[in-house]
A and B are shown apart, each in its own frame.
Chain A
Amino acid sequence: MDVLLAFTRPSLDWHALAPELTLLAFGTLITIVDIIWDERSKQAMPTLAGMGLLATLVPILTLAVDGTERSMFGGAYVVDDFSLVLKALFLISGYVVVLMSVDYIRDGDYYENEYYTLMLTSLLGMVMMSSSRDLISVFVALELLSIPAYMLAAWRKGGPRSNEAGLKYYLMGVFASAVMLYGMSLVYGLAGATSFDAIAQELGSGPSNPVAVLGILFVLIGFAFKVSAVPFHTWAPDTYEGAPTPVTAFLAVASKTAGMVALIQLVFVAFLGREDVIQPFFWVISALTMTVGNLIALRQTNIVRLLAYSGIAQGGFMLVPFAVAADAPARAIEAVVIYLAIYAFMNLGAFTVVLAVARKTRSGEIDSYGGLFRYAPGLAVAMTVFLAALAGIPPAGGWFAKFGLFRALLDAGGGWAAGLAVVVAVNTVIAFAYYARVLTQMWFQPVADGDDRPIVVTGALGAALTVTLLATMAFGVLPGLVGHFGEVSVLSALGG
């Protein structure tokens, strides 16, 4: 009984947990509404989900205004500016995905209520991820965001492609998490504790040992899968192609961001002392990812698949700063966060346009974009902005993201960093080559099938488009906006 009495109630900072709880509440609400009203509640679901996401932003804002850094459970769960920024990013991305989903899910043969439940659950996992600073939390958060995503990928139940997408995603995801877990077990074994601080202390000191190398490597590989880094990317194109398009957007943006967030925390908090492992690892992985992703993308004919490979390559860009994680930690985090924020909007925007166009053409082939500029100039311009942003051409947002990479690399300096910078430069060029193929179709080619009826953009899609377009341009013209977030996150992540 002594033992039982010894239990001290953990001190919970409810304000810090308010975002998670709000999200949880709305998830539960949706489930309950679903159970009670069943079919009749369908109309309300997206609204509810959207409200849930927006409502969750409220405590985030209050926390941000409050500004104090909150740490619980001995540093296992931290709410700081970094986590808040990313939580907000997840929620906004989620909101845009919900907007994208409204018509798509309603018009298709889908389980609608559960769709939103799972979406919110996955987002809950992501929101959790950005605060997690220990192995168990990270692991659970990862699974919490992944498992619903596996199912969402297979959500088009009658579609063999969607099923297959789900299976591939699931199996590869589980493989990867097995490897990651094994790595975590080794890391845990060396540190004897799960919190990142402890791990950093243990790994950062002492001579190199192969178990540490192995542990770190396996953990990183697990997340490299999540961010679809080559050679762990193989699931991504197939899954993206097969999954329902809003889910694809969700995977390409939110899920990848979550993986990156986990990597940031692991690399910059836990493993920073082992730069002899992380820097070469990320050098190789990022270079491979960019190059392979871009090269394969050159040969794609399906727009979603093209965006999938583009996403892989973008992931490669995001991994670049990790290659100088130890040499220029502040700039590296900043670069990744900035990239994530901009990437979220530009990529979601591109997917929104794909959705909007597919509503008319019912096709995912790039050829079907022929002459888009003639009959849907607005969409064509929007797509142009998004693709330009992805390619990193000012004044569309992406340039600042790429700029951040270069900045981190050059801050670190040295031959390897400069070499990677050149690889990035070359890849920027290759990337434009395939973005240009879409541009070419939209602008230079005649209308496909001669069908030039205009495209009706639904309200929700229009809203998604507006949000992403404005954000993308704003980041490009006034990069200070996003740059500010990046800077904030640096201070806290390193401080905490």
Chain B
Amino acid sequence: MWMLENAFIIPLIPAISFVVILLFGKRFIGPDRVHVVGITALGLVWVLSALAAFQWTQRVEHPPPDAVVQMASHADDHADDHADDHADDHADDHADDHVVVSENNSGDAHGGGHSSPLIRPVISTFSQWWSNGGIEFSVGTLVDGLTVLLLIVVASISLLVHIYSTEYVKDDRRYVHYYAFLSLFTAAMLFFVMAQNIVQLIVGWELVGVCSFVLIGHWWEEKPNTDAALKAFLTNRVGDIGLLVGIIVLWGTFQTFDIDAINTLIAADPGAHHLALLVAACCLMAAVASKSGQFPLHTWLPDAMAGPTPVSALIHAATMVVAGVYMIARLYPVFYEGLSVGTSSINLMAFIGGFTALIGAALAFAQWDIKKVLAYSTVSQLGYMVMALGVGAWTAAIFHLFTHAFFKACLFLGAGSVSHAAHHTFDMRKMGGLKKDMPHTYRTFVISSLALAGIFPFAGFWSKDEILLGSLVGQKNSYPLMLIFGCVVAVMTAAYMTRVIWYTFHGEFRGEGHPHESPKMMTTPLWILAGMAVIAGVFNLPGPVLEPFGLEGLAHRIQTYVEPSVYLSGLGLSHPDPSLTMALVGLALAVSGIVVTYLYYWRRVGLHGMTERNRYAKNGYTFLENKYYLDHLYNDVIVETVKRPIANWANRVNQNVLDRVVDRAGETARDTGRWIYKWIDQGAIDGSVNAAARGADSSGEGLRAIQSGKIQNYGQLLFGSAAVLAIVFVIVV
């Protein structure tokens, strides 16, 4: 268990790498060789992360005595409250009982392989980090399944991106800084995921934000890039208000920053502090919304595509943007109790997630920039995860996070590869027909797209299926609306990915020059990721799938290893049974999306020319796009189907309202500032100070009149004042 206890080493390595690259990169290592440092560090990180993951599995499989929680009696009391609810679940449990509910901790009542004992996370704390009011606060690591999962994801993607970047940003004038900040980002992200307390969460949260800022603005000579960087940072800052306040509310409620303690306290006594938790959860949701691109704070994410593509893959697809999701998962009791996930029909989290998934998907249709399509797709998928968490499908969400990281990173890197070939453009209108020139890119891209679309047997299929299943079953109550959202999004996802593939790889090449396949350093990572996109699903296969192969022991590995049952047990979460029907429906939806789109592009079926006939459509379209490809307006298809109102409206709102809000907020603040500065500060406050000075000055001038120089006047004053004083005093005294 050494690695788990000393997990701090993992983020330390890239941190050192950052310092080394920054300080010695140019002079001693050589600007063109700094990647060696970064890649070495990341390699090491990956190995250690893998080691940590292995040790964690060992811990779950063979828990040392101190790792198992002996349930306190109150947990049992609590369990009684929910006994009825769970009775059904238990009755229905067939094969594989991984339902982790509070009452079955004391042993494995239902038999079968690996019922999960409640495994404590490994918590190590180092020294006193800061102290205040006599309380000492430690810095430390909390390692459990969720952590190691994220470690693996971050380490893997980051390593691949490091490798990929050696080619992609070759000869960049800020190659050194690029690698330095990749390292720093990795360090920050790793630090974040193993945060032992919520203050560390903030630290990591903000640090990854800064790295994101720096890397988005990597080419800061162009103003749009810096605008995008600022927008990203400021939008995140807005969310951070929520983070700050939420964490403060948690502190105020529990008098601790310790994640373990907070979760345990809530799990031990759910229902207490409901109001505080509601406030905290709502505030934290704002933070999640900003970081994970949830409606309505998602607008920065597409803009963030101004950064180098590998950065987009790493930060804005696979890792940083899932920080919000991670935080929900990490502090799940807070959200679960605060937003009453287990009781009400719709909660804020589920709604925001579902809605985001929907509009993200809708918006993805309207983009011509391949990266923006992917960005909106990311928004949509993150919404999916949040929605899953909102309906109580914790494991499904994290599973999706896991699979999504690989195939989305692959897609981004693929897009980067395309752009590398096609003169650094991301405009799909300048691509086309790249299939033959870039076979590796094409193949990996398609694989990942299929995974994203949720086609069997790719990774996305499994995770998406679990989410849909979660929405179907929900926790105690069903979330029918969420299921609808999920299904619609599934269709749309498949559709817009098909569109991307069409425009990018099929048809005629519309760009300039001669596209060519990217070098090995780029394609290798693509293949690795594509491979993961294929197989990542195996980590949480449902039991029935494996049963025929006699491998049911390997089912639900993520659920087994990752789910922090020690915290969730008190909440009464349940895991829905795998449903073949649901899987088939999901698959059908995805396929139908592909098919419709395929027919549209490849077969020219559909309602072309819609815009000529329909006034509204035309207006809408004019707004969306007024240059080329009127005939090919893909939106026509959507217009005619259910999506039309959504996509159109969403886009309009997105561009006109949400996106402007940020700008407007900035402008308004600045105008307010100017006004206040001019009128209040310089006018009223400073003005009154200066006026006082002037007043003193002019009264001095006025008083000089007394000093006429004439003795008679002086005498009059002398005797006159004497007389007046005398009169006053004689009368008064």
Query: Who on chain B is nearest to A276 by CB?
Result: B733
Q: How far is the CA of A104 from the CA of B232 in the complex (A)?
A: 76
Minimum Cβ distance to chain B for residue A428 (Å): 13
Q: How far is the CA of A296 from the CA of B721 in the complex (A)?
A: 19
Contact call A296/B711, Cβ cutoff below 8 A = no
Contact call A175/B719, Cβ cutoff below 8 A = yes
Enumerate 29 A-B pairs (CB-CB under 8 Å) in ascending A order: A171-B711, A171-B715, A172-B711, A172-B715, A175-B718, A208-B733, A210-B733, A213-B726, A213-B733, A214-B729, A217-B722, A217-B725, A231-B717, A231-B718, A231-B721, A232-B717, A238-B707, A238-B709, A276-B733, A280-B729, A280-B732, A294-B700, A295-B699, A296-B703, A296-B704, A297-B700, A298-B697, A298-B700, A299-B697
Minimum Cβ distance to chain B for residue A118 (Å): 23
Is B706 on the interface with A (CB-CB < 8 A)?
A: yes
Question: Known contacts A172-B714, A221-B718, A298-B697; can you find 17 more A-B pairs with CB under 8 A?
Answer: A168-B714, A175-B718, A210-B730, A214-B729, A217-B725, A221-B721, A221-B722, A231-B717, A234-B706, A237-B707, A277-B729, A295-B699, A295-B700, A296-B703, A299-B700, A299-B704, A433-B693
Query: Who on chain B is nearest to A235 by CB?
Result: B714
Is B599 on the interface with A (CB-CB < 8 A)?
A: no
Q: How far is the CA of A93 from the CA of B708 in the complex (A)?
A: 31
Query: Who on chain B is nearest to A434 by CB?
Result: B700
Q: How far is the CA of A298 from the CA of B733 in the complex (A)?
A: 36
Q: Specify which chain B residues have a CB less than 8 angstroms from the CB of A292 in the assembled complex.
A: 703
Contact of B725 among A281, A296, A430 (CB under 8 A): A281
Query: Who on chain A is nearest to B721 by CB?
Result: A231
Contact of A221 among B697, B714, B725 (CB under 8 A): B725
CB within 8 Å of B: which of A160-193?
Answer: 167-168, 171-172, 175-176, 179
Given A221-B722, A234-B706, A276-B733, are A175 and B696 also a contact pair (CB < 8 Å)? no
Q: How far is the CA of A433 from the CA of B690 in the complex (A)?
A: 13
Contact call A214/B718, Cβ cutoff below 8 A = no
Q: Which residues of B contact A (CB under 8 A)?
A: 693, 696-697, 699-701, 703-704, 706-707, 709, 711, 713-715, 717-719, 721-722, 725-726, 729-730, 732-733
Q: Specify which chain B residues have a CB less than 8 angstroms from the CB of A238 in the assembled complex.
A: 707, 709
Query: Who on chain B is nearest to A297 by CB?
Result: B700
CB within 8 Å of B: which of A429-443?
Answer: 430, 433
Q: How far is the CA of A225 from the CA of B721 in the complex (A)?
A: 12
Q: Specify which chain A residues have a CB less than 8 angstroms from the CB of B715 in the assembled complex.
A: 171-172, 175
Query: Who on chain A is nearest to B725 by CB?
Result: A217
Given A172-B715, A218-B726, are A277 and B733 also a contact pair (CB < 8 Å)? yes
Q: Specify which chain B residues have a CB less than 8 angstroms from the CB of A235 in the assembled complex.
A: 714
Given A172-B711, A172-B714, A433-B693, are A295 and B703 also a contact pair (CB < 8 Å)? yes
Query: Who on chain A is nearest to B722 by CB?
Result: A221
Q: Specify which chain B residues have a CB less than 8 angstroms from the CB of A176 in the assembled complex.
A: 718
Hey, what's the 0/1 contact readout for A1-37 against B, CB within 8 Å counting as 1?
Answer: 0000000000000000000000000000000000000
Q: Specify which chain A residues have a CB less than 8 angstroms from the CB of B704 in the assembled complex.
A: 296, 299
Minimum Cβ distance to chain A for residue B522 (Å): 65
Contact call A234/B717, Cβ cutoff below 8 A = yes
Most chain A C-beta atoms within 10 Å of own C-beta, residue among B696, B722, B730: B722
Given A167-B711, A213-B730, are A232 and B693 also a contact pair (CB < 8 Å)? no
Minimum Cβ distance to chain A for residue B694 (Å): 10
CB within 8 Å of B: which of A292-336?
Answer: 292, 294-299
Contact of A179 among B697, B706, B709, B722 (CB under 8 A): B722
Query: Who on chain A is nearest to B702 by CB?
Result: A295
Q: Specify which chain A residues have a CB less than 8 angstroms from the CB of B714 in the assembled complex.
A: 168, 172, 234-235
Q: Specify which chain A residues have a CB less than 8 angstroms from the CB of B722 in the assembled complex.
A: 179, 217-218, 221
Q: Specify which chain A residues have a CB less than 8 angstroms from the CB of B717 in the assembled complex.
A: 231-232, 234
Q: How far is the CA of A214 from the CA of B733 in the complex (A)?
A: 10
Q: How far is the CA of A294 from the CA of B696 in the complex (A)?
A: 9
Q: How far is the CA of A213 from the CA of B699 in the complex (A)?
A: 32
Q: How far is the CA of A297 from the CA of B711 in the complex (A)?
A: 20
Contact of B711 among A168, A208, A210 (CB under 8 A): A168
Contact call B700/A214, Cβ cutoff below 8 A = no
Q: Specify which chain A residues have a CB less than 8 angstroms from the CB of B726 in the assembled complex.
A: 213-214, 217-218
Contact call B696/A298, Cβ cutoff below 8 A = yes
Contact call A213/B696, Cβ cutoff below 8 A = no
Q: How far is the CA of A391 from the CA of B697 in the complex (A)?
A: 18
Q: Specify which chain B residues have a CB less than 8 angstroms from the CB of A167 in the assembled complex.
A: 711
Contact call A296/B700, Cβ cutoff below 8 A = yes
Contact call B707/A234, Cβ cutoff below 8 A = yes
Q: Specify which chain B residues have a CB less than 8 angstroms from the CB of A297 in the assembled complex.
A: 700
Q: Specify which chain A residues have a CB less than 8 angstroms from the CB of B703 in the assembled complex.
A: 292, 295-296
Query: Who on chain A is nearest to B724 by CB?
Result: A231
Minimum Cβ distance to chain B for residue A319 (Å): 14
Q: Specify which chain B residues have a CB less than 8 angstroms from the CB of A281 in the assembled complex.
A: 725, 729
Contact of B730 among A214, A295, A298 (CB under 8 A): A214
Q: How far is the CA of A294 from the CA of B695 in the complex (A)?
A: 13
Query: Who on chain B is nearest to A168 by CB?
Result: B711
Contact call B718/A225, Cβ cutoff below 8 A = yes
Query: Who on chain A is nearest to B693 by CB?
Result: A433
Given A210-B730, A296-B704, are A179 and B711 also a contact pair (CB < 8 Å)? no
